[in-house]
A and B are shown apart, each in its own frame.
Chain A
């Protein structure tokens, strides 16, 4: 039962928590299974008659499992977390020096999105979204290799910053599409 996880300590990583290898390429089905089995183990229904201390502990594990799952599930946050474990911070709040060609592309995307939004052109927005997903995919492929070598970790951090950008723009476009289709 969940008791075997009672010894969870802060020095353990989210990867350890789910018994997964600490690497970028992980089996998402394994992650899902591990997450579901932990949530089942610490389900509140099982602790109705437990002591307050045990109940609290089970809730803490459930919260931790949520946080760990959300972090590892998404490619960008998984990469950011792996870098963090390796002592490399992605500085997404403070580092504004993105490569110029990347920023020019961002400007062009934003302009195209604005144009499509004004024209209420959902098809164009869908296409834009697909193109951004493709760009993100190709960046994610580079992440797998750059994250497996200590020397290329700074390079991986740059890719995470780009992906963070694309994630945000994709969310924005998704919201615009939802609003237009309303």
Chain B
């Protein structure tokens, strides 16, 4: 299958690969997996006290589309509020990368990873307030 130029670009030069300190109270981690293709994606976001995403890193094992989807969202996430991040739809990712229908689930994986990371940071913040 032919990948789009944008997918190839992110696949060959993935942005923000790596991880952040998972014990940092301002870091949220989202881990998701797609059983059908065996893909696993870890997304980490560092959020300021004002709720702005300052940094985002990812690590993905999977096909080119899954890697491109996660690479793209790390670029999108920086500077956004966690609410804005939570509102990102997989269709926006799929459209930006021109994913074919059979690869749409890769963008779903990226959306779910964002939601999981946001849920994690919210849980951490709730814990912090409770403490």
A→B interface (CB under 8 Å): 90, 92-98, 100, 102-104, 106-107, 110, 114, 160-162, 164-165, 167-169, 172
Contacts and interface: CB of A to CB of B under 8 A. Distances in A.
Contacts of A161: 35
Given A94-B108, A96-B108, A107 B32 contact: no
Contacts of B35: 90, 92, 95, 98, 160-162, 164-165, 168
Interface string B92-131: 0000000000000100110011001000000000000000
B61 interface: yes
B20 interface: no
A169 B105 contact: no
B38 A168 contact: yes
Given A107-B42, A107-B61, A92 B36 contact: yes
Q: Is the interface of A mostly helix, strand, loop or mixed?
A: helix
Which 6 pairs, one residue from A and one from B, show the smallest C-beta to C-beta distance? A168-B38, A110-B61, A164-B35, A92-B35, A96-B32, A161-B35
Nearest to B109: A96
B105 to A, nearest CB: 5
Interface in B22-46: 31-38, 40, 42
B69 to A, nearest CB: 12
Contacts of B38: 106, 164-165, 167-169, 172
B32 A103 contact: yes
